[in-house]
Structure 1
Amino acid sequence: MSEIERALQTFHSLKVRQIMPPLASMPIVTVDSSIIDVLKLLKTRHHVWVVNNREEMKLEGVIRYLNVVDVLLPPDIHKARLGNISSIFKSILGGADRAEHVMERNVLTIKDDATVLDALTKMKRYKVPLLAIVGENEKLVGEISLRILVNEFIRLMRIGGAQWNQSGSSLHLE
């Protein structure tokens, strides 16, 4: 078995909780947080998790950077058609003033005891680069992104002593 195959095998068997960032470093707001607080976080992040409150941390939704377009547009720009009426109310001028008004409620999650392979499979199936990690009672305990996974795989490659060359095969480092 090659170094890369061993690294991938180890990588796939890791639990997502082993490589998720600390909760304190994650962008989190509560449902009643102001839109301005959400926008401040989105200046430097691609998403913000929305929880019911800081004590229970029950995941309620996510606000992605791309959702800001709906928040900033005036309501008359949105095309009101069946199935799309909610975007009108996500505008600040349409009355949205709290995180709960603009969040996506259907968040893709994965349990904290899932493996990296489980996470990668779910990301591929749903074509998303980010999953919320939840524990009991849908409590937000972390996040896993494709960026985190790539960084972890590269770290494993360095630790294992394998290095990719341009043809894609591995070389053992002495």
Structure 2
Amino acid sequence: MNDVERALQTFYSMKLSDIMPPVISMPIVTLDSPIVDVLKLLRTRHHVWVVSDKESMKLEGVIRYLDVICILLPPENTKARFGNISAIFKSILGGAEKAADVMEHNIMTIDENATVLDALIKMRRYKVQILAIIDEKGTLKGEISLRLLIDEFLRLMKVGGVQWTQHGSSSRSEWH
């Protein structure tokens, strides 16, 4: 097994809990947080996790950056399709006041004991770039994003002394 294969095996087997950022650094609001607080966080973040309360940290939903469009649009400009009628009520003018009113309930999660390989497979399967890390009780423990995985892979390559270079104009990559 060469250096690259060894490095990749190490990367794939890493526990997410070992590389996830601390919860304190994550964008988190509670169900009853005002929409203004959500919007303030979304100015600099791509998502905000919604928990029932800061003590239990039970994950309830997520609000993504692109959801702001529905929040700011008047309800008559939001197309109501079968199965998506709730989008009308996600508008401030439609009556939305707090995080619970605008959050998405379907959240991509992964177990806190999962590995990097588990996360990569799930991200590819569901075409998502971020996963909430939860325990068996549904408590938010962290998050893992494709950006964090890239950073960790590059860190591992540097620490492992493996250097990746691309030669010429072809798309073929070689490891040295």
Paired with 2:38 and 2:28, the residues of 1 have a C-alpha distance of 9
The answer to whether the Cα contact below 8 Å between 1:123 and 1:129 also exists between their aligned partners in 2 is yes
Q: In 2, distance between residues paired with 1:66 and 1:32?
A: 21
List aligned pairs for 1:110-125, cutoff 5 A. 110-125=110-125
Contact 1:2 1:170 in 2 (8 A): no
What is the distance in 2 between the residues matched to 1:79 and 1:128?
Answer: 24
Question: What is the match of residue 132 of structure 2?
Answer: 132
Query: 1:135-158 CA deviation, whole Å, 9 max, x = no partner?
Result: 131000000000000000000000
Per the alignment, residue 76 of structure 1 pairs with 76
TM-score, length basis structure 2: 0.95
Aligned mates of 1:19, 1:48 — CA distance in 2: 20
Offset of residue 79 of structure 1: 1.9
Q: Taking CA–CA contacts closer than 8 Å with sequence separation of 6 or more, which of the two structures ends up with the larger relative contact order?
A: 1
Match of 2:103 in 1: 103
Q: Which runs of 4+ in 1 moved over 4 A?
A: none
Q: Which amino acid aligns with 1:169?
A: E
**Shift of residue 83, structure 1, vs aligned partner:** 1.4
Q: Find the residue that maps to 1:143 and give its secondary structure.
A: strand
| Structure 2: 5+ residue stretches without partners | 168-172
Q: Is the 8 A contact 1:50 1:60 kept in 2?
A: yes
Residues 19-58 of structure 1: pairs in structure 2 closer than 5 A: 19-58=19-58
Percent identity of paired positions between Structure 1 and Structure 2: 65
Q: Could you tell me how far apart the structure 2 residues matched to 1:79 and 1:42 are?
A: 23
Shift of 1:6: 1.2
Q: Which residue number in structure 1 is paired with residue 170 of structure 2?
A: none
Q: Distance in 1 between matches of 2:64 and 2:24?
A: 19
Q: CA deviation at 1:169?
A: 1.7
1:88 matched residue in structure 2: 88
The 1:6/1:104 distance shift into structure 2, 3 A limit, reads: same
Structure-1 separation of matches of 2:98 and 2:134: 23
Report the counterpart of residue 174 of structure 2 in structure 1: 169
> What is the distance in 2 between the residues matched to 1:25 and 1:14?
21
Structure 1: stretches of 5+ with no match in the other structure: none
Count residues in correspondence.
171
CA RMSD in angstroms, aligned pairs only: 0.8
Q: Could you report, residue by residue, the CA deviation over 1:56-98 in whole angstroms, capped at 9, with x for unpaired residues?
A: 0000000000000000000010122321211000000000010
Distance, in Å, in 1 between the alignment partners of 2:158 and 2:3 is: 10
